Structure 1
Amino acid sequence: MQTKKIRRVLLMAAAGSALIAALFGTSVARAEAPNAVVIKNFMFSPMELTVKAGSTVTWKNLDGEPHTVVNDAGMFRSAALDQNDTYQFRFDKPGVYKVFCGIHPNMKETITVQ
């Protein structure tokens, strides 16, 4: 009896994930990717991210407009990212890193490296 209930709950969860992916055009796996930032609707998501020193952060542009990933201290700057393009940067030193889009400077985020 218990196995049937568990199986039913798992099937409902899987169906819910598939529905969410279909409605929002994204996969649950992508949303759960570690150290990933999505650029969508002219926003970085998440707007605040904490990672460990030595971690690589990956940004992916899902907008139809190009965006860049720029550190305000000049440590890194991506080329213009078209839709579905990605950019990666490895954060080796602890600190707080302010990031913005060089094309749309009102788009901002903070990466905290511990």
Structure 2
Amino acid sequence: MLTSLIASGTALALAGDTASHRVTQKGRSFAPGAISLRAGEGLAIVNDDGELVHHAYLENPDFSFDTGEQIPGSKTVVFFPKPGQFTILCGIHPKMKLAVSVK
């Protein structure tokens, strides 16, 4: 099931797709808070909160995406098409930040 199409770049965010890495959203934070991956690898962003809705997004001139609202238990896989340093934020909880290093 297609969850979200990336606004720019060539990557897709897909529900149920396989990912090389996983981060969770719980307690108004990402865990882990920083992650490294290689260009082309997938990152699963999972809402493991029992009650909170999250909304992960990334705005960067080279690559951006927006998961939309993620209800508890949902997962979105994002593929990073090129190297760079990125910060994923939550549109609902502004203090949530995930540093992503792509080589």
Interval of TM-score (by shorter of Structure 1 and Structure 2): 0.7 to 0.9
> With structure 2 as the length reference, what TM-score do the two structures score?
0.75
Instruction: Tell me how far apart the structure 2 counterparts of residues 100 and 87 of structure 1 sit (CA, whole Å).
Output: 14
User: Aligned runs of 1:53-64 on 2, under 5 Å?
Assistant: 53-63=39-49, 64=51
Structure 1 unaligned residues grouped into runs of 5+ = 1-32
1:72 corresponds to 2:69:
no
Q: Show the counterpart of 2:6.
A: none
Contact 2:25 2:46 in 1 (8 A): yes
The structure with higher relative contact order (CA 8 Å, sep 6+) is 2
Larger fraction in strand: 2
> With structure 1 as the length reference, what TM-score do the two structures score?
0.68
Count of residues paired in the alignment: 82
Q: Show the counterpart of 1:49.
A: 35
Offset at 1:34? Answer: 4.2
Instruction: Tell me how far apart the structure 1 counterparts of residues 55 and 21 of structure 2 sit (CA, whole Å).
Output: 17
Q: Show the counterpart of 2:100.
A: 111
Contact 2:44 2:77 in 1 (8 A): yes
CA RMSD of aligned residues (A): 1.4
Structure 2 unaligned residues grouped into runs of 5+ = 1-18
Larger fraction in helix: 1
Instruction: Tell me how far apart the structure 2 counterparts of residues 108 and 72 of structure 1 sit (CA, whole Å).
Output: 13
Instruction: Tell me how far apart the structure 1 counterparts of residues 34 and 79 of structure 2 sit (CA, whole Å).
Output: 16
* Identical columns (%): 28
Q: Which has the larger radius of gyration?
A: 1
Q: For residue 106 of structure 1, what is the amino acid of its counterpart?
A: K
